[in-house]
């Protein structure tokens, strides 16, 4: 399958690269990550001005009507610059599910059905709620977060244990969510929970959740969330297919971040190897290191080829769970190989906080940990092969 970015997408990538090089150098990024918020409203506003928060959403929701290819094109650049702002959490994760919920409930309402009961809202009200949130996210006025994973090492929607109960005013959620990107700072919180035995999608006021905030190893803000009969608005019932599709697309975009970090590691390590001298010659001229650099490049190219192939499948609506598992496993395994080699070639300085090398490796590891590590997805592929 042939795949290349269009001229417009390459121009977008160049524009984003120039903006981040100018306004988001590594030293400034480190200061931002160390701040109380963990991200910069000024940088966020710059992303909004470039239209990056509106890329995937329909034009009638304030978006640009872009595709997953557009998201991947941008995410790869973000990964290479270690972006800490909540673009992935808000636009890709929360926004992706809100867009799917709005489309699903609108179609259901149009068929004459309703979502839930008389006390839980209708398809029309659910669509309105999702659309309102989408418009604010697309405009950069709201920060969204998805509370889905529950610490089981897998994103499998069938294993979600958070439960929803019907109440006189709608629904109430009880359960724990782990590793919610920007979960403590979001004002739009999308939550998966089980309603009558089926997976459903809810909108919850963030103040109704008890948040335990922390910083991930790669510098992003995150939180564990606890819901104790938290009031919730039903967005979509029987939402497992919707959630699976949105998570698959999110994994593709997250993998693009990791591949971007891999590419930057390869660039920096190659530059260092032919600048750093030992015994009067660049260390990169040593055969062993030359082979190591070649292995790094092969690993990077394999990961990027897998990413582009999977992106093309997603754009053609031919993406399967197996395709996503292959991508996540490949990027996780090959990314670790590239990161470890980069640190070893740099030597002791590769472990310091003053250089981006270790931070890029941490970004790759953090992406691998989200929505199932490489080993989990390899087990998924193995089970499918023998099943």
Instruction: Check residue 365 and give its pLDDT.
Output: 98
| Mean pLDDT (whole number) for 352-361 | 96
CATH superfamily, with its number, for domain 7-86: Acyl-CoA dehydrogenase/oxidase, N-terminal domain (1.10.540.10)
CATH superfamily, with its number, for domain 243-386: Butyryl-CoA Dehydrogenase, subunit A, domain 3 (1.20.140.10)
Structure tokens, 211: 């948040």
The band of 351, judged by pLDDT with boundaries at 50, 70 and 90, is confident
Task: Report residue 82: phi and psi, to 5°.
Answer: 60, 45
Residue 294, pLDDT above cutoff 90: yes
Instruction: Check residue 274 and give its pLDDT.
Output: 80
| Mean pLDDT (whole number) for 282-295 | 84
Using alpha carbons, list the distances in angstroms from residue 213 to 22, 31, 150. Answer: 30, 19, 15
Instruction: Check residue 113 and give its pLDDT.
Output: 34
Taking phi first (over 0 means left), then psi (-120 to 50 degrees means alpha), and beta for anything else, what does residue 51 get? left
Instruction: Check residue 136 and give its pLDDT.
Output: 98
Cα separation, 13 vs 244, whole angstroms: 28
Task: Report residue 193: phi and psi, to 5°.
Answer: -155, 165
The band of 120, judged by pLDDT with boundaries at 50, 70 and 90, is very low
Cα separation, 32 vs 7, whole angstroms: 33
pLDDT by residue (tens digit) across 222-279? 999 999 999 999 999 999 999 999 999 999 999 999 999 999 999 999 998 888 767 7
pLDDT by residue (tens digit) across 70-84? 999 999 999 999 999
User: Worst-scoring range by mean pLDDT, 224-228, 284-288, 358-362, 372-376?
Assistant: 284-288
Can you tell me which residue has the tokens 């604010």? Answer: 136
Cα separation, 55 vs 42, whole angstroms: 19
Domain layout of the chain by residue ranges: 7-86, 89-238, 243-386
Higher-scoring residue by pLDDT: 3, 57 = 57
| Mean pLDDT (whole number) for 8-36 | 98
Instruction: Check residue 273 and give its pLDDT.
Output: 86
The CATH code of the domain at 89-238 is: 2.40.110.20
pLDDT by residue (tens digit) across 34-51? 999 999 999 999 999 999
Instruction: Check residue 280 and give its pLDDT.
Output: 73
């Amino acid at each position: 399958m042939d795949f290349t970015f269009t001229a417009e997408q390459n121009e977008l990538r160049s524009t984003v690269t120039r903006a981040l090089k100018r306004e988001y150098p590594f030293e400034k990024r480190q200061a931002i990550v160390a701040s109380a918020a963990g991200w910069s409203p000024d940088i966020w506003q710059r992303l909004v001005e470039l239209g990056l928060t509106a890329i995937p959403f329909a034009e009638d929701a304030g978006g640009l009507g872009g595709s997953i290819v557009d998201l991947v094109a941008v995410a790869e650049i973000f990964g290479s610059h270690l972006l800490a702002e909540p673009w992935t959490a808000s636009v890709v994760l929360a926004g992706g599910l809100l867009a799917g919920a709005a489309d699903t409930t609108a179609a259901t309402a149009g068929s004459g059905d309703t979502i839930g009961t008389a006390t839980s809202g209708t398809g029309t009200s659910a669509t309105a709620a999702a659309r309102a949130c989408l418009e604010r996210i697309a405009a950069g006025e709201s920060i969204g977060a998805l509370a889905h994973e529950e610490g089981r090492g897998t994103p499998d929607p069938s294993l979600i244990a958070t439960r929803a109960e019907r109440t006189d005013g709608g629904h109430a959620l009880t359960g724990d969510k782990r590793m919610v990107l920007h979960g403590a700072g979001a004002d739009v919180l999308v939550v998966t929970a089980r309603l009558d035995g089926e997976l459903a999608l809810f909108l919850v006021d963030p103040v109704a959740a008890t948040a335990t905030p922390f910083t991930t190893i790669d510098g992003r803000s995150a939180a564990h969330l606890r819901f104790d009969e938290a009031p919730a608005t039903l967005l979509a019932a029987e939402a497992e297919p919707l959630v699976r599709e949105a998570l698959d697309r999110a994994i593709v975009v997250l993998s693009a971040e990791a591949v971007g970090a891999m590419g930057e590691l390869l660039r920096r390590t190659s530059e260092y190897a032919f600048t750093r001298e030992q015994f009067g010659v660049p260390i990169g001229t040593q055969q062993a290191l030359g082979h190591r650099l070649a292995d790094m490049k092969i690993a990077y190219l394999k990961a990027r080829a897998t990413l582009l192939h999977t992106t093309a499948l997603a754009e053609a609506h031919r993406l399967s769970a197996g395709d996503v598992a292959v991508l996540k496993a490949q990027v996780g395994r090959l990314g670790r190989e590239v990161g470890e080699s980069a640190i070893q070639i740099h030597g002791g300085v590769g472990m310091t906080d003053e250089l981006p090398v270790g931070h890029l490796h941490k970004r790759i590891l953090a992406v691998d940990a989200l929505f199932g590590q490489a080993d989990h997805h390899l087990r998924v592929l193995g089970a499918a092969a023998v099943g």
